[in-house]
């Protein structure tokens, strides 16, 4: 999670504003989550493609940023594991996404 170093801000008005931002950041389940950015390019259709995510836990969430190309994409959540995410495509495409999990606390 992003943690601002509010105590290092000398100006009191700026410090107060940064403290408000820090408080908002600490309340956001998305910003408190653990995420990894992935960009994967497929040259054609593929079934159950394993992509290493490097998170060390099973991702439960994804935020899809973009999919470009003529193919369709399926995220095979049931096949995610501690090492890989699993995807199926119907054709060529590039996907950009954040994979990980929203903070549950």
**CATH number of the domain that residue 46 is part of:** 2.60.120
12 shares its domain with 51: no
What residues make up the domain containing 51?
Answer: 34-101
62 shares its domain with 39: yes
Does the pTM exceed 0.85?
no
- Geometric angle at alpha carbon 60, from 57 and 62, rounded to 5°: 115
| Cα 53 to Cα 75: distance, rounded to the nearest angstrom | 14
What pLDDT digit, counting tens, does each position of 33-89 carry? 889 999 999 999 999 999 999 999 999 999 999 999 999 999 999 999 999 999 999
15 shares its domain with 38: no
Q: Quote the strand ranges of 23-77, DSSP E.
A: 34-42, 46-52, 61-68, 73-75
Number of domains in the chain: 2
């Amino acid at each position: 999670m992003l943690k601002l170093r509010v105590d290092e801000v000398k100006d009191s008005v700026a410090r107060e504003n940064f403290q408000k931002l820090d408080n908002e950041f600490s309340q956001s389940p998305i910003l408190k989550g653990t995420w990894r950015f992935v960009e994967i390019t497929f040259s054609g259709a593929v079934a159950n493609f394993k992509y290493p995510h490097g998170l060390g836990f099973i991702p439960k969430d994804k935020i899809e940023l973009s999919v470009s190309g003529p193919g369709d994409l399926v995220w095979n959540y049931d096949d995610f594991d501690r090492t890989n995410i699993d995807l199926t495509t119907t054709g060529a495409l590039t996907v950009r996404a954040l994979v990980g999990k929203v903070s549950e606390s």
